[in-house]
Amino acid sequence: DSGVTQTPKHLITATGQRVTLRCSPRSGDLSVYWYQQSLDQGLQFLIQYYNGEERAKGNILERFSAQQFPDLHSELNLSSLELGDSALYFCASSVGREVQETQYFGPGTRLLVL
Amino acid sequence: DAKTTQPNSMESNEEEPVHLPCNHSTISGTDYIHWYRQLPSQGPEYVIHGLTSNVNNRMASLAIAEDRKSSTLILHRATLRDAAVYYCILRAIIQGAQKLVFGQGTRLTINP
């Protein structure tokens, strides 16, 4: 158990809909990272937040957005969903924002868009 | 842009050493090399990281080429529990923002 929690574990929705994925980092961790893992694209970095502020952006689509709240939990919002958005979405956390720091991954949310 | 290249799959036998290669020929001087692994139905977990020198920890060793254009993750005595997908990742801070570059991962099979 990494100490990172993600809800829900599974999500089934339809094209065009909007969903929100939630992540609670390990106690004391200030950074939260979001990743997408699909069969054809592998593991892709989406976005990082540090202490409530966006710190880095990866391959995140404009239809996707995220935020980190004062209690440090984070939400990833996916809108106008397409079939290709079906994937595993992981959240990870680390103590700070240094590149040497270990990231601790949650168990993931499996999203299926029908 | 930096890129990492890994073999799609490798196979080894239990209790034998395993050498997992990663090519990162376009690495920059500030890129750290990280290795994570993903066990079936789980999120990735940290294995090891380094910058220039070889590194050892209780899980594995990381051998970094002198020119840093490649690295090798070494599992000294593989067990069945080491069967996973291993990712080689470059991490750096560019203009204040973190950059992460993932390889496609190597699926490691361990034979009993």
Q: Is A89 on the interface with B (CB under 8 A)?
A: no
CA-wise closest residue to A2 among A82, A98, A66, A92: A92
The beta-strand segments (E) located in B14-83 are 18-23, 32-38, 45-50, 55-56, 61-64, 70-75
Question: What pLDDT is attached to residue B39?
Answer: 93
Question: What pLDDT is attached to residue B32?
Answer: 93
Cβ(A43)–Cβ(A91) below 8 Å: no
- Write down the residue that tokens 């939990």 correspond to: A73
Question: What pLDDT is attached to residue B2?
Answer: 65
Question: What pLDDT is attached to residue B26?
Answer: 87
| Among A14-23, B46-55, B96-105, the least confident range | B96-105
Tens of pLDDT, residues A21-80 = 999 999 999 999 999 999 877 889 999 999 999 999 988 999 999 999 999 999 999 999
Nearest to A99 among B32, B44, B102 (CB): B32
Tens of pLDDT, residues B17-48 = 999 999 999 888 889 999 999 998 899 999 99
Nearest chain A alpha carbon to B86: A43
Cβ(A22)–Cβ(A108) below 8 Å: no
- Cα–Cα distance between A78 and A6 in angstroms, integer? 15
Contacts of A45 in chain B (CB under 8 A): 100, 102
Taking the CA atoms of chain A, what radius of gyration do you get in angstroms?
13
Tens of pLDDT, residues B55-74 = 999 999 999 999 999 999 99
Q: Is A64 on the interface with B (CB under 8 A)?
A: no
Question: What pLDDT is attached to residue B1?
Answer: 62
Cβ(A92)–Cβ(A35) below 8 Å: yes
Residue B96 has pLDDT above 80, yes or no: no
**Nearest CA-CA distance, residue B80 and chain A, Å:** 20
- Cα–Cα distance between B64 and B73 in angstroms, integer? 9
Nearest chain B alpha carbon to A102: B46
